[in-house]
Chains A and B, each alone.
Chain A
Amino acid sequence: MSTPVKTYTLTGLQTALENFISENFSSKRFWITAEVRKSNEKGGHRYYELSDSKDGKETARASANLWYSTFEELKTRIPELEKILSEGNKVLIQVRIDYHKLFGLKLCVLDLNPAYTFGDIELRKQQTILRLKQEGIFDNQKKVSLGRINKRIGLVGSPNTSGYRDFVNEMTTNNIFTKFRFKEIHTSVQGDKAKAEMISALKEIDRYNVDVVVIIRGGGNKMDLDIFNDYDLCKTICLMKHPVITGIGHETDEVIADLVSKKRCITPSAAAKSLYNEVGIFRAELTTALDSVIKRTQQLLSGRKDEFQHVSKYLVLHTKTILFDNQKTLDNALYLVKTGFEKTLREEHFQLDKVLIDLKNSSIKYIKSSLLPELEAQLQRADFSCKNSIQASKLELNHLFEQRLPLLMRNAIEVNRIELHHLNDKLEFVNPIKLLDVGYTISSVEGVDLNQHDDNMIGKEMTTLSNKRIIKSTIKSIKNQTT
């Protein structure tokens, strides 16, 4: 017969465990090292997943929480607390072991030692440097040529930061050189997305035609700047074909991005100054070189001046002699040409006169013999023709003057006479005196014809004119006459 097995409920078991851990561990504190695998925030409380590993293999895992009140208290002492407790960092934390029958084993974070994490950052930094060197790309940027004049600037950074604004302000308002052209790619410089955005921005800007790429980041604490120790970011810088200048604001620790870049500046403003100062220095060097060239040229010219003057004098003298000799030869030749020409001219003139006399005689003879009779006949014909024309014109004129002109004149006078008669007839017709003679009368009021009056004329004096009398009467009534 078997003995009955003792059984427990889960609650009983969990309660027993809870009580055991509470009795044995609740008053104890432990400093442990672990890597933060995951972190979450809810209602101000932080929840973490911690892990430990050896030789790349995970050896332990536990959940932990950091209550809101403890977080706020620690933050006043450790400003970088949130950064330190971000994923991937190794941390040294003080914990208390809690066990709850519903939620299981939990570590409650009570304190944190930042120096451990910083040491870890340094360790990772050294590992990254070693890795880049082993890959043979650590000094790549040192081999890239950085020109003296860099006007096309590829700018990577966050435009909302004061460091970015300082850089742009310095570049555009300084007294030395401001004609820079910018190709800006804006990225975050902190936070979860910063690393990926910066790598993408650097790769993109490396494809543009720029002289130099400048990475800008304002000041920040050790944790803030840890992104610039990232292996992938630093590798991207190493592999860029354009020279990279870093303007990352920090006072003490260098970041790996500074080490692998072509040039590092301690602030964004310093990066700007180095760019425009180089232009200024180059310009000054050019001015000095130009001055030297001018000075040396003046010296050479001065040295050659005497020699030139001597040669010049000799040249003038020699030229004058040659010119004098040639002039003399030319004068002789000219004299010969002149005398020869005059002689030839005289001879030709004589011959010409002779030919002219012969021609004259021949012409006269020819005219006399052949042309003269014809000319006389033509003259006679012309004279006859002229006389005829004159006679015809005279006849026409006579006809015009004696017959047509009187006719035209009479017509003109007759027209005027008819017009005058017509006017006279008209005058007879409108002549009022004639009308009076045949018995009509003319009546007027105030010297104006009755028909010209529009006003009421009753009571006014009317003057009636007949051929022999002037009758004055007073108007008593007016009656309109219908026709």
Chain B
Amino acid sequence: MPATEQQLRMGEKVFSTICNMLDANGFRYETDTSRSDPMITLSLKSDIFPVKVIIFVRPERELVSFYTPVQLKVPEDKRVEIALAVTMANERLIDGCFDYTLFKGELRFRITAGFIGSLPDQEQFRYMLGFSESAVKRFTELFLMLTKSVMTLEQFYEAIAK
């Protein structure tokens, strides 16, 4: 169902609020407003691995989704083990989750917020960005070690239980 005029206006406000938050924090980003769900893409600095964040504002659903792909392709012989690790990781999370495409061996972190009848503040989006970054940084190395057989599933479980 296409967005109503009111939803489109709210979507635009939310999009601007996110851009203002990114500007205020000195982030460089790219936007694509030609889509029905306007998109913002940015890369976060990291010493260990690149962290790319893709933000979608979905006016018709009145939702904002932050997706952070995990820079890792899971080999076929590790895909079941990573599925188990993903369930362990998600169980530990209080917000957001790791989505795992089993047949592709791809992982991404997802966090979503609604703006139904409410206009989120910049702080809300700063929280979502910060949470995404910390979740991905916390788990990517562990997922990587598991796929490279440097770590067992039991060791993974112990590491995230700390």
- A, B from the same assembly: no
